[in-house]
Amino acid sequence: MKVFEANISHQAAGLLNEKLSLVTLFEIANKKLADDFGILNFFGNQQEYDIFKETISCSSLIASEPDRTEYGDFQTNSNLAKSVSQFLRNQKKINPKIIIEPTCGKGNFIVAALTVFQQIETIIGIEIYKPYTWESKFSIIDYYLSNPDSNKPKIEIFHNNVFEFDFSSIADKIKGEILVLGNPPWVTNSKLSSLDSDNLPQKSNFKKHSGFDAITGKGNFDIGEYITLMMFDAFQHSSGHMGFLVKNSVIKNIVYDQLQRKYKISDIEKLTIDSKKEFNVSVEASLLFCKLNKSPHYTCKEYNFYQSAPFIKEFGWVSGKFVSDTGLYRHSSYIDGDCPFEWRQGVKHDLASVMELERSNGNFTNGRNQETELEEDLIFGILKSSDLKQSVISQSRKYTIITQKKVGQDTSGIRQKYPKIYEYLNFHRELFKQRKSSIYSNKPDFSIFGIGDYSFLPYKVAISGLYKTFSFSLILPANNKPLMLDDTCYLLGFDNLEFAAYTSILLNSDITKEFLQAITFADAKRTFTKDILMRIDLYKLATLFPGQDIQKEIDTLNNTFNLNISINNWTAYVKTLKNKRPSAQMNIFSGKDAES
């Protein structure tokens, strides 16, 4: 049965119908409901009360569910809400006096808290969607119908926008242990802007100077994250705890920002839940737990919510560095520094159907199955992430047209010099024009990105940014032409084979793998980014790598791939690494001896 579009059980409707049948004024009805169930201000005004009475005296009204995407509406099921509350009571020994549920939805956390915590004196719930505020109140009545002797705290459910709610006035008034409990909306600001929704805090650029971009590259955030921070702002000086179900990315960002924000929160934990099972969504999410009003902590311990046992790992800040596994990091942190060489992203063209080619019958076939003859000069083999499976690669499945030697280069010369290529590109001109990214606007025809001198160096060491395999491939020229990488890959370019081979050996060492595992996050869109790779101090790695190990690895490469790499250039290589280190470069500019 539905009242105000909210579900109400027949039991609760029947009881209210009976209890209020002789009551005409809403203030008297409110007093009765506060006495019986602790819920304050049940009805907002007389009109609301009249409609309510009329509705519950009729039979059920079926209302269709509106689209609630912009509200990040994933209601916590009663079982999960209860096990979270039990976990907080049994494992964390929490026995709060005040519960704050900032976006209480249908009230499942409120009912769970009533069930589990016996000393609550006040519950405050806020919810933007009116039918849910009713449903929360009806659920509370249901709870008391089944548990008439249960503790009855004062409960107030506000129909309000959480972003406009004054939490600080509550924080000033409360006395006793507080528990901020719930599951804030799961929706990002960019999703909201695509829906043209204004369900955002006014200061929605709150991330602007936080260094957040360094982690996600997007400036995109979840409104659940903003609400979590609002709770810290309001209650970090109140004695108590927080238990919030949020996306893993929210927890990562909160811990990341903690270095700068220094909220008085400690013992931060992330307890992973199965969101497919609980919410039927494929988003990694967890229970975020922390203590309030404590000296700030900057790391977060990870556990599985369902298994009372083992600690998985800890992530967060160690000596000013943000890492995904503090234990692993402590072993390998000595190579955390600056890479002497510059990592580059591969070629970007955003037009695979035209620019990705395969050889067939001496011609080239594109993704639209069009076969064409093209001049070889501008054609290069190209490797995608899925091609980087071997330690040494010297051929490609795919080819591409490299229209420029560097970004922005004039392409008008192609027409005269390579008429077949020009004809092919020109035939697909409209598709080039339709490329969405703004990087292509006002650029020469058929422009590409991720191209420069480094692209044409014959030897490369490369890794896929997307895959979670911690292995680097040594790329050799194919038919005397350098192989290119696509923009899902990162590469270092070399003009001599030895330097490239030594680099690939260092990067594939156990210590590099351990270091990368310690600083990358499995749930990141790209496991490896330029920022991550630039942290590998190859010079330190090289100086600590035992000589006999290098020789052994070179022998393996030579024997497995029929190469002829020698160790003779190793000393020159280490010297180059030393001279190219940023600290050495600064010494050169400041007149100090880089060799000293």
Q: Is 199 in the site for ligand SAM (CB under 6 A)?
A: yes
Q: Which residues contact 590 (CB under 8 A, 6 or more apart)?
A: none
CB contact at 8 A, 394 and 563: no
Q: Between residues 272 and 275, which has the closer beta carbon with respect to ligand SAM?
A: 275
Task: Give, in order, the Cα–Cα distances in Å from 153 to each of 39, 78, 276, 330.
Answer: 8, 20, 34, 48
Q: What is the DSSP string of 216-246?
A: HSS---BHHHHHHHHHHHHHTTSSEEEEEEE
**Shortest distance, CB of residue 162 to ligand SAM, whole angstroms?**
4
List 30, 55, 76, 447, residue binding ligand SAM (CB under 6 A): 76
Q: Is 305 in the site for ligand SAM (CB under 6 A)?
A: no
Q: Between residues 17 and 161, which has the closer beta carbon with respect to ligand SAM?
A: 161
Closest among 500, 494, 509 to 540, alpha carbons compared: 509
Q: Between residues 161 and 394, which has the closer beta carbon with respect to ligand SAM?
A: 161
- Contact range with ligand SAM by CB under 6 A, out of 12-20, 182-190, 516-524, 536-544: 182-190
List 96, 182, 381, 450, residue binding ligand SAM (CB under 6 A): 182
- CA torsion 132-135-139-140 (nearest 10°) is 70
Q: Is 243 in the site for ligand SAM (CB under 6 A)?
A: no
Q: Is 286 in the site for ligand SAM (CB under 6 A)?
A: no
Cross-sheet strand order for the sheet of 344-345: 344-345, 489-494, 459-464, 473-475, 392-393
Q: Between residues 25 and 281, which has the closer beta carbon with respect to ligand SAM?
A: 281
Angle CA 424–425–426, to nearest 5: 90
Q: Is 341 in the site for ligand SAM (CB under 6 A)?
A: no
Q: Is 131 in the site for ligand SAM (CB under 6 A)?
A: no
Q: Which residue is nearest to ligand SAM (CB)?
A: 105
Rounded Cα gap, residues 591 and 436, in angstroms:
47
Q: Is 72 in the site for ligand SAM (CB under 6 A)?
A: yes
Rounded Cα gap, residues 421 and 129, in angstroms:
59
Q: Between residues 77 and 434, which has the closer beta carbon with respect to ligand SAM?
A: 77
Q: Between residues 66 and 582, which has the closer beta carbon with respect to ligand SAM?
A: 66
Contacts 24+ apart (CB under 8 A), 418-426: 418/374, 418/375, 418/377, 418/378, 420/372, 420/373, 420/374, 420/375, 421/374, 421/375, 421/378, 424/372, 424/374, 425/354, 425/401
**Shortest distance, CB of residue 111 to ligand SAM, whole angstroms?**
10
Which residues between 140 and 169 bind ligand SAM (CB under 6 A)? 161-163
Rounded Cα gap, residues 92 and 150, in angstroms:
23
Handedness of CA 371, 374, 378, 379 (dihedral sign): positive
Q: Is 139 in the site for ligand SAM (CB under 6 A)?
A: no
Rounded Cα gap, residues 587 and 569, in angstroms:
25
Q: Between residues 229 and 318, which has the closer beta carbon with respect to ligand SAM?
A: 229
- Contact range with ligand SAM by CB under 6 A, out of 102-110, 171-179, 288-296, 352-360: 102-110
Closest among 167, 157, 85 to 118, alpha carbons compared: 85
**Shortest distance, CB of residue 223 to ligand SAM, whole angstroms?**
7
Q: Is 105 in the site for ligand SAM (CB under 6 A)?
A: yes
Q: Is 228 in the site for ligand SAM (CB under 6 A)?
A: no
Tokens of 79: 């079982």
Rounded Cα gap, residues 38 and 449, in angstroms:
64
The dihedral region occupied by 343, where left means phi > 0, alpha psi between -120 and 50, and beta the remainder, is: beta
Q: Between residues 224 and 482, which has the closer beta carbon with respect to ligand SAM?
A: 224
Q: Is 128 in the site for ligand SAM (CB under 6 A)?
A: yes
Q: Is 136 in the site for ligand SAM (CB under 6 A)?
A: no
Supply the angle between the helices 108-116 and 78-90 in degrees, to the nearest 10. Answer: 40
- Contact range with ligand SAM by CB under 6 A, out of 72-80, 140-148, 296-304, 421-429: 72-80
List 4, 42, 52, 109, residue binding ligand SAM (CB under 6 A): 109
Q: Between residues 109 and 263, which has the closer beta carbon with respect to ligand SAM?
A: 109
CA–chain centroid gap for 500, Å, is 33
- Contact range with ligand SAM by CB under 6 A, out of 183-191, 365-373, 399-407, 583-591: 183-191
Residue 322 pairs with which residues in a beta bridge? 317
Q: Is 272 in the site for ligand SAM (CB under 6 A)?
A: no
- Residues that bind ligand SAM (rule: CB under 6 A) add up to a total of 24
Q: Between residues 77 and 551, which has the closer beta carbon with respect to ligand SAM?
A: 77
Give the pairing of strands 363-366 and 459-464.
unpaired
Residues that bind ligand SAM (CB under 6 A): 71-76, 103-105, 108-109, 126-129, 132, 161-163, 182-183, 185-186, 199
